[in-house]
Structure 1
Amino acid sequence: MSFDSTEEKTRGFSHPIYSSHEFKMSQQQQHCPSHYEPVPPPYAGQFQPMPPNPQYGYPPQPYASHPQPLMGNPQYPPQSHHTQNATRSLKVEFSSLSTRHMAINDAGQGSLLCTVDLHNRNPQMEFKNAATNNTIATVHMRTFKPEMDIKLHGRDIHLRVNRSLKPETTYHSIALPTMSFTWKTSSAWKYLTFECVDQNNVTVARFKAASSFSMRKLGQLDILIPQATSGAAMDELMLTGVSFMYYQYLSHIRSTTVAVTA
C-alpha cells in the first residue's frame, strides 16, 4: 500500500506552516476584511456623500450688486398715485335730521365752504356759497334716465351714469380743458367709496365713506392734485363728486326700500 510521505508526517500533529501566525492572519482577512481598507468609489448615479466642512469655515461670498427689497415686487414698484397724500380734504355730511341739507367743510381749517339744499323736484341739488349764500351750481337728475345735468358758474356739465355692478361716469373738464375725468366706484360692496381718475388713469380725487355708523356723516372728499385745490377746478371736482355720491346714495335707498317692501 502506497502512501504519501507528507500525509504521514502531518497525520496526528500540526504542520508548522499551518500553525504559524502569518497563516492565521491571512485566513482571518479572507473572511473578515479590515475596516481600514480604502472604500471603492461609488458608481455613477449613486448617492454622493457631502464633503466635510472646510477647516477654517467657508470663504466670504460676494453680494449682489443691487440689494433686494425687503418686501414688495421689484418688477412692479408703487406708482405715484398709489402713495400720494391729499392736498385738500373736504368733509361732507347732512346738516339736518330731515336729510334735506348738506354741509361741506374744509377738513384742515374746519370752516364751512358750501351748503347744499336737497329737493324732490328739479333741481334736486342746489349748491350755495357759505359766505355769500349765492347759488353757484344746480343739479337736475332725470327721472327715467341715469343722467344728471349740472350747471356750474353758468357752464353745463352732463353726467351719464353707467349702471353696472360698479357704476361710473365720464365727462370733459371745463376748468381743465385738456383733461377728462371719470368718477367710478372702487368697490361693489362699498357704494359710497369711489375715486376720480383722468384720461391716463391717474387718480386725481377720492371719496371715502364715513367709517362711523352716524346717520349724518357721509364721507370725505380728498383732492390729490395741486391745481384743483382752489378756484373753478376745485368747485368742479367738489360738485361732480358730491353729485355722483348723492346719486349713488339715492339709488341705494331706493333699492333697499324695494327689497324691504317686496
Structure 2
Amino acid sequence: MDTAFVLPELAGWSVICLRPAMQQAAARRAVQARGARHVSLPGLALLPPPDVALAREHLRKSLDCPVLVFTSPAAVAFAARLLPLAQTPAEQVFAVGEGTRRALARQGLMALAPPDDAMHSEGLMTMPHWDAISGRVGLVTAPGGRGVIAAGLARRGLQVQRAEVYQRQPPRLDARHWRALAQAGAPRAVLVSSGEALDAVLAAVPAQLRPTLLDSVAVASSPRLALLAGDAGFAHSLTAAAPTVPAMLDELAAYAAAPGFR
C-alpha cells in the first residue's frame, strides 16, 4: 500500500481574507482545511443600526410584505436580533447568495437564491420569478451599497419597504492586523468579495505593506470585482465560479496546481 504523504492543495500559501470579522471564523476553517495560513484583514466593520427602535419598526413592516429579499448573511443575523424572522407571513423569500440562503434556513425561512455563477445583485434581479410578482417587497439590508436591487425592483413597478438592520463602517484595523500581513509568507492570495472592503483596506494599509498586499493573487468573487482588483494594482487576479469561500479556494487551488506555477 502506498502510504506516501500528500501535502494539502494550498500548503505553503497565505490566504488573506477581507470579509467582516463576524465571517472570519468560517473562512479560517475553510482556509486551514486546505493547508493554507489564514490572515484576517476585515475590510468592513458591521455594526447594529444607529436607531434600533426605528430599524425594528421598519423591519416589522418589511416582514409583513408578501415578498422578502435579504441581501447578505449579515442582514439575516442583524434582523434576527431585532425580530423573529420565521413568523413572517411572506409567501416568497429571496437571498442574494447561498450564504444568505443558509443563514435564513437557520432562522426557519426557506429562500430562493440565484445559481452558483450568479450569486450577486444582478443575478438575483434576473431570476424568472420576478415576472409573476407584483405589489410590495420587503428589502432587508444596510445603508449604502450599489443600489442594484432597489433600482431593479423599482423598475418592475414594485413597492419597496426597506429595512436597514445594520450598518457598514470603515474597518477597525490595528497593529496586529498589519503584523499578520507583514508575516504572511509568499505565495499569497487575497479573497476579494466586496469592492467596498477592498477600497477600505487599500486606503488603510501602511505604505510599506502595500507592495506585500498587491503582490498577492486576487481571487475575486465576480468578474466585476476582478476588474476592480486589476484597477487597484494587483498583478494577477482570478474569478471564482461562486462568491463562497470554498469556491474561491477551489479557484486558487486550480491556479496553484497549474503546470508552470512553481
Structure of greater Rg:
1
Q: Indicate the structure with greater strand content.
A: 1
Q: Same fold (TM over 0.5)?
A: no
- TM class by shorter chain equals under 0.3
TM-score where L is the length of structure 2: 0.25
TM-score where L is the length of structure 1: 0.25
